[in-house]
Chains A and B, each alone.
Chain A
Amino acid sequence: MAFDYDQYLRPGKLPHIWCPGCAHGIVMKSIIRAIDREELEKDNTVIVSGIGCASRMPGYVDFNTLHTTHGRALGFATGVKMAKPSLNVIVVAGDGDALAIGGNHFIHACRRNIDITLIVFNNNIYGMTGGQFSPTTPHGKLASTTPYGNPDYAFDVVELSMGAGASYVARGTAYHAVPLTRLIANGIAHRGFSVIDALCTCPVTYGRRNKLGSGTDMLLWFKGNTVGKKIADKQPEKAEGKIVTGVFKQDEKPEYCDEYAKIIEKVGSQA
């Protein structure tokens, strides 16, 4: 039976603002299926975002939704989670939102290991503002503010998350929507801070400028240029020059709200 997205979409809120060929919608669908798979209750689930094309996603889905300021979603989400730890908190963010203006919040959320699942809609560009380079725009690529090629170097979201202390780290792509669903679902199930680097596409600003073809061409590129983590580990030669996808880290590590609950339990009686 076909998956019933309608049960999670807010009536009357479509069409969305995304351009034809934009992959943000594919990632949204993966998130919806992951939430369904983990059987999260709508009333107990909060989806938080910052500002950007990706950050418009919460408006379309029927949960407690919070569309905040550029880069700050994790700060808001941390307050929500700390004040009511029983809520499931999911954050969606663009690459610029999560890693440039929100970079400080990103590394500290990783370090704190608070039970929030972050999905980075990583399209290597500032889509909403018309195609300026982002912290994940590859070196040399064109953007409206790197007209002669990007002199800057990109963050690797996976390495950054692991280094900063996130306890679940995965990477998927919008082409591989089914595995992406699994990676997100595992992140939701994981108790601690989870980061899913969801590679997607902005054909309108990034693709066009760098002559990467249509939205479909850009998605198909993922097919030929990624390799699963398990294969990459066994046969490193197969991963050469390719992007590795899969689960990179899944550690049991005390979660922040659990640790704080222990403090409350210890000192609470002393009131």
Chain B
Amino acid sequence: MSEKVVFYQGNEACAEGALYAGCKFFAGYPITPSTEVAEFLARRLPKEGGAFIQMEDEIAAMAAVIGASLTGAKSLTATSGPGMSLKLENLGFACITEVPCVILNVMRGGPSTGLPTGPSQADVMQARWGTHGDHPAIALVPGSVQETFTETVRAFNLAERLRTPVILLTDEIIGHMREKFTIPAKGEIEIWDRPRPTVPPEEYKPYDTSEGIIPPMADFGSGYRWHVTGLNHDETGFPTNIPSLVEPEERRLMAKVTENLDIIEKYEYIEKKGSKVAIVAFGSSARSTRSAIAKAAEGGINVDFLRLVTLWPFPSHVVNEMADKVDVIIVPEMNLGQMIEEVERSVKGKAEVTGVNRADGEPITPDQILEKIREVS
């Protein structure tokens, strides 16, 4: 397929990106502001030889996505706050069993039902720590419709390459706004598939790491019969509670992320000459930040900008280096202060850290950020 220019919503771009990445299965449960992803894929997946199913709730949807992925089908689910909360137990199952899948959370306001149609960025910490127990976490935070497409493709690639669930964290604004964007021609973005076993079935050990920390994964029905369990397991996949086997596996799950930062981390760092203030932001707050920084420059104030495209793992080393240069780091986020804690942790007291927060269902405006820039300059 050749390149195509379209006028899409962020949610539609996610769905299109999933198809581009080779997604063959979607299971979901309707919830604002994510439903367009399901509607789009209900139309498109059967045309592309895939399958769509609306399940009875988000728990079942998350379960179905993992089940489908075990047969080898790249799988997606999409939801928002209340639904994300329901998915969490099975998200942990995907972490420990190392089943690739992608979960879109289009953030909306409030705890509980909150503000169904209002944007928010209040699931920052849920994306990292939502499911119980130590577990790896990858969360990508696109800031435009085009980037929702490319980051969805990247989410699938990372999920497959690292055998782990990947969360796409957008918000109501990114999900619903329309922008012109280009669907790249087939082959323009590299598509990755999970490593599959090359040994004969009788030699297959599903968590054998002799070739590297990402063990090859066999599709159900491909002749490799293996056992998948959410219990801690050894390299054969069967349950174990032997301490000397459990902890190395727990550590390996984390290492899949920490040892692959080169392909996971992504950010945009716009440095200005002599700036004493920097801003760390993502998603729709980063859009307001960009205008605020432009306005500040007109008034003669230079501000550095770190826009995250990968939120988790958090790029602490980058933020820490920023703190060597600037005196103040501003963290605008549509919540009452979540990412700011990670920023504070990263700067280790080397710079002042201050937030611009909003939790009323309205986006943070450029003027709010500009005001803060002036205040601290």
Contacts and interface: CB of A to CB of B under 8 A. Distances in A.
Given A69-B230, A72-B60, A271-B48, A63 B75 contact: no
A212 B261 CA distance: 60
B230 A268 contact: no
Main secondary structure of the interface of A (DSSP, over half): helix
A264 interface: yes
Contact of A268 (B46, B59, B62): B46
B282 interface: no
A62 B53 contact: no
Given A80-B70, A84-B73, A264 B46 contact: yes
A108 B56 contact: yes
A66 interface: yes
A263 B231 CA distance: 38
A62 B225 contact: yes
A46 interface: yes
B31 interface: no
Nearest to B53: A82
B47 A75 contact: no
Interface of B: 24-25, 27, 46-49, 51, 53, 55-57, 59-73, 75, 89-90, 93, 220-223, 225-231, 238-239
B64 A84 contact: no
Given A69-B93, A260-B51, A264-B49, A75 B225 contact: no
Contacts of B47: 267-268, 270-271
A48 B229 CA distance: 10
Contact of A64 (B57, B63, B64, B221): B221
Contacts of A48: 67
B222 to A, nearest CB: 8
13 contacts: A68-B228, A72-B90, A74-B63, A75-B67, A75-B90, A78-B67, A79-B25, A79-B65, A79-B69, A82-B51, A83-B24, A83-B73, A263-B46
B25 A83 contact: yes
B56 A65 contact: no
Interface in A75-105: 75-84, 86-87, 104-105
Contacts of A75: 55, 59-64, 67, 90
Interface of A: 10, 13, 42-44, 46, 48, 58-59, 62-69, 72, 74-84, 86-87, 104-105, 108, 260, 263-264, 267-268, 270-271
A72 to B, nearest CB: 5
Nearest to B201: A43
Contacts of A10: 227
Contact of A104 (B57, B67, B230): B57
B221 A67 contact: no
B230 A79 contact: no
Given A79-B25, A86-B221, 11 more contacts: A10-B227, A43-B221, A68-B90, A69-B230, A72-B63, A75-B63, A76-B64, A76-B67, A78-B64, A80-B220, A267-B47
Contacts of A104: 56-57, 60
B51 A64 contact: no
A64 B230 contact: no
Contacts of A62: 225
A66 B99 CA distance: 12
Contact of A67 (B69, B223, B225, B228): B228
Contacts of B222: 43
Contacts of B238: 13, 59
A79 B221 contact: no
A76 B223 contact: no
Contacts of B231: 67
Contact of B67 (A58, A79, A86): A79
A105 B228 contact: no
A84 B90 contact: no
Q: Which of B63, B70, B239 has the most CB of A within 10 A?
A: B63
A55 to B, nearest CB: 10
A60 to B, nearest CB: 10
Given A59-B239, A76-B63, A79-B66, A64 B225 contact: yes
A171 B24 CA distance: 37
A64 B93 contact: no
Nearest to A51: B230
Given A80-B67, A104-B56, A263-B46, A58 B221 contact: no
Contact of B66 (A44, A64, A76, A270): A76
Nearest to B238: A59
Contacts of B48: 271
